[in-house]
Amino acid sequence: MNYRHAYHAGNFADVLKHGLLVWIVRYLQQKDAPLCLIDTHGGAGVYDLGGTEARKTGEAAGGVLRIAEASDRPAVIEPYRQLVGGANEAGAMTRYPGSPWLMAAMLRKQDRAIVGELNGEDVAALRAALAGFERVRVMEGDGYAMLQKIVPPREKRGLVLIDPPFEASDEFETLAQAIIATHAKWPTGVYVIWYPLKDDAAVERFHAELLNARLAKMLNITLDVGAADEGLRACGLVVINPPWILEKEWREALAWLARTLARGANAASRMEWLVP
């Protein structure tokens, strides 16, 4: 499998992942203390929604474009919507900013971001997309290996986004090992880990590995848009050390996302503590 996010930019999974990412960072920025934001699998940075890849799948139409057109958006979604709008000219939605761009756009003068990417072509695009931002470092290479080298950051506070392409058959195992090793070095960081919901047994094993490592405070969030086709219909996020008000603030918003982004009658969302 050769995964390229340009085909999927702005889909329902991006809305969930990036909506929560933006909200968590803004919550952490309520304190003046500096943050280090880390993205292990950065991709190309910004994606053309009018490009050949995006138009081939049309996934943004069932994701970010529905969010942009909705008139009843929950307040917790609004910071994400505003940032995505800021990556576009007024009145148009032609570009979708990935997580590195969103992180860079949120940086204060005391914050910094570190972004990893393995694909050389995407590294070049990523550096071009982030050229206008300060305090952002792009590192070419394996994101998991990079993570081990840079934590704990000097800021002590911050967030790690791990959003692998799931190209490898053992991605869940590699992901679990990376989380456990990184958490041992930086137990106070906030971790946001995305995964596809296609193989229930693999997801259960992934969760079990994290539980066996006795990591504290793990919240699991899932969104299923109920699609009948063979594409991705559901995904999840494990959030380690989530802000204490995340569950309260986002429960109704998740239900709203399931309704708004539904592609079938069985659309649903779920939020549960793996470790309270």
| Catalytically active residues, by annotation | 163
Residues composing the chain: 276
How many C-beta atoms lie closer than 10 Å to residue 86's C-beta?
12
Angle between helices 171-185 and 200-212 (to 10 degrees): 20
Whether the CB-CB separation of 59 and 7 falls below 8 Å is answered with yes
Q: Which H helix or E strand runs over 69? A: helix 64-69
Give the pair of three-digit tokens for residue 68.
């942009």
Could you give the count of Cα atoms lying within 13 Å of 37 in the half-sphere of its Cβ? Answer: 24
Rounded to whole angstroms, how far apart are CA atoms 196 and 171? 11
Give the pair of three-digit tokens for residue 179.
């989380």
Rounded to whole angstroms, how far apart are CA atoms 40 and 54? 23
Dihedral angle, C-alpha 247, 113, 216, 205, nearest 10 °: 90
